[in-house]
Amino acid sequence: MMSSKKETLLNVAEKLFYLHGFHAIGLKRIITDAEIAIMTLYNHFESKDDLIVEVLLRREQRYLEQLRQYADNQSKPIFLNLAEGHARWLMEYENRGCLFLRAKEEFGGDANHIIVQTVNAHKKHVMSLIKKLNPSLSDRELLQFILLLEGSTALAETEDVHNVCRELIHMTEKSFKS
């Protein structure tokens, strides 16, 4: 079980990173907003990079769990379920774009950087989950579906998220019949 101070730290850090970026937010701002001492932060995280990785991993866990929950609906085709789960995520969490891609933009200069590796692993985890949920899926179909998800995430930054989600569902229905 996670301590409440660590939970608070992670929630505050995620919100600040999402709103302002990773480099723009320092540890002092995080501990001030979280109302905790710097030593508390260092009791839980060795560095800012470790904090960022933990924020990303928690976000990934929530996203993948949402996709799994939507995938469980047996009354609709799997692609439609996943598109609806992704659309719900966009409406609730992603109006400023993908936090993972934003992290890669800020840290992408070094492919060996732990944050870049975390982002790359996340994208592979999403693809693996979808393939696991629909084993008959071809590599081409998987890539096409991921393009719909990623494109809708990017477009939700600049267009009305409800319109984007409606089109995501429509395109999924038209493109993936089973």
Tell me, what DSSP letter sits at residue 65? H
Tell me, what DSSP letter sits at residue 8? H
Q: What is the pLDDT of residue 107?
A: 93
Buried b (16+ CB within 10 A) or exposed e, 24-34: ebebeebbebb
For tokens 């996203």, name the residue. Answer: 63
Query: Is pLDDT at 128 greater than 90 in this prediction?
Result: yes
Q: What is the pLDDT of residue 64?
A: 97
Model pTM score: 0.91
